[in-house]
Amino acid sequence: MRTALTIAGSDSSGGAGIQADIKTMTANGVFALCAVTALTAQNTTGVTDIFDSTPHFLAEQLDAVFTDIFPDAVKIGMVSSAELIETIAAKLKEYGAKHIVVDPVMVATSGAKLLRDDAVTALCEKLLPLAEVLTPNIPEAEILSGMTIQNAADMERAAQTISEKYGCAVLCKGGHQINDADDLLWRDGAGKWFKGRRIDNPNTHGTGCTLSSAIASNLAKGYDLDTSVERAKAYISGALAAMLDLGHGSGPMNHMFALKGDFVE
Ligand SMILES: Nc1ncnc2c1ncn2[C@@H]1O[C@H](COP(=O)(O)OP(=O)(O)O)[C@@H](O)[C@H]1O
Ligand SMILES: Cc1ncc(COP(=O)(O)OP(=O)(O)O)c(N)n1
């Protein structure tokens, strides 16, 4: 069985963060490993508190994983401080981790800040250059490129700028646009659009975590990046279209929409 590691924060509501990652990896047929960067007290209406792992304990989790079950791909989500970012970068280099997907999580849709302002530089300098692909949403792509994004041409310019700056592929996600759910993959000097039908579902908690984990799962299975993005897009569209409705705010998706068998009713 192929394996994928998520390095991310815990979401007590189960819709985003490490919980979304593990469900996504499992539903995509890979064995999920995890290293927890932080605990969040969170539900569908917002984040009330964050308790960070220490750099030492995060390093211990990464040592435990890499020295035993070496992951076929790695996904990185919420990492709130410069010290934790530096720890992850050092360990990924030490172990020669491959197929690294970085979701540069900065702010939850509910408005909570998940990355400290003083950690953006560490993210850019230490972690982004290790990535095979970055998956910023539009607000994150604006911060990383220093540009304002208002339309598809702006997405292309911003993705190109980020890709050239950090030497990796960039998937600029269009979920925050008004009329569509089209994502742009910029790699090796050229852009490719992955078109998505916008699903009229207010429950989008964890879409970014889910997409990046599905990409990592498909890279772990040996698919190339284009195919991994295409398959991840099909997966998230299915999870949104299942129209799960839980909680009082923007609820989670149904990660198990495609699961069939005697134990699912
Ligand atoms: N209503 C929607 N219908 C279909 N796809 C969506 C919808 N909202 C987001 N997506 C898709 O979900 C993925 C995550 O995008 P986005 O919501 O922009 O990320 P984030 O959760 O990081 O803000 C992208 O592939 C995006 O196109
Ligand atoms: C613990 C934790 N990590 C990441 C997020 C952000 O999730 P994301 O899928 O990027 O976006 P929203 O769910 O906020 O739309 C989170 N909320 N919690």
Q: Give the CATH number, domain containing residue 65.
A: 3.40.1190.20
- Kindly indicate the confidence band of residue 260, based on its pLDDT and cuts at 50, 70 and 90: confident
pLDDT at residue 117 in the model: 85
Q: What ipTM does this complex have?
A: 0.97
| Inside any domain, residue 22 | yes
Q: What is the mean pLDDT of residues 215-227?
A: 98
Write the DSSP assignment of 107-145 as a string of letters. B-TTS-B-S-GGGHHHIIIIIGGG-SEE---HHHHHHHH
C-alpha distances in angstroms, 258 versus 27, 33, 197, 205, 240? 8, 21, 19, 19, 12
Residues 163 and 186: their CA atoms lie apart, in Å, by 7
For residues 38 and 67, the answer to whether their CB atoms sit within 8 Å is no
**221 within some domain:** yes
- Are the C-beta atoms of residues 233 and 192 closer than 8 Å to each other? no
Residue 265 pLDDT more than 90?
no
CA of 109 to the centre of ligand 2 (A): 7
Name all residues whose Cβ lies below 6 A of ligand 1: 109, 137, 173-176, 181, 183, 196, 198-199, 201, 204, 207-208, 211, 233, 236-237, 240
What whole-number percentage of the chain has pLDDT above 90? 90
* Residue range(s) defining the domain that contains residue 196: 3-241
Q: What is the rounded average pLDDT for all residues in the chain?
A: 95
The residue nearest atom 26 of ligand 1, judged by CA position, is 175
Q: Can you tell me which atom of ligand 1 is nearest the CA of 183? A: 27
- Residue 75 among the catalytic residues: no
Output the pLDDT for position 179: 65
Is there a domain that residue 86 lies in? yes
Dump pLDDT digits (tens) for 25-45.
999 999 999 999 999 999 999
What DSSP letter does each residue of 196-227 carry, written as one string? -PPP--S--BTHHHHHHHHHHHHHHTT--HHH
Phi-psi region of 95 (alpha: psi -120 to 50; beta: other; left: phi over 0): alpha
- Structure tokens given for 102: 């970085």
Residue 123 lies in a domain: yes
Percent of the chain with pLDDT over 70: 99
pTM of the predicted structure, to 2 decimals: 0.97
111 Ramachandran zone, left/alpha/beta (phi>0; psi -120 to 50):
left
pLDDT tens for residues 130-184?
Answer: 999 999 999 999 999 999 999 999 999 999 999 999 999 999 998 877 668 999 9
Domain-embedded: residue 26: yes
If one counts the domains in the chain, the total is: 1
- Alpha-carbon dihedral sign for residues 85, 87, 93, 97: negative
Residue found under tokens 């705010």 = 249
Q: Can you tell me the distance from the alpha carbon of 50 to that of 113, in angstroms, rounded to the nearest whole number?
A: 10
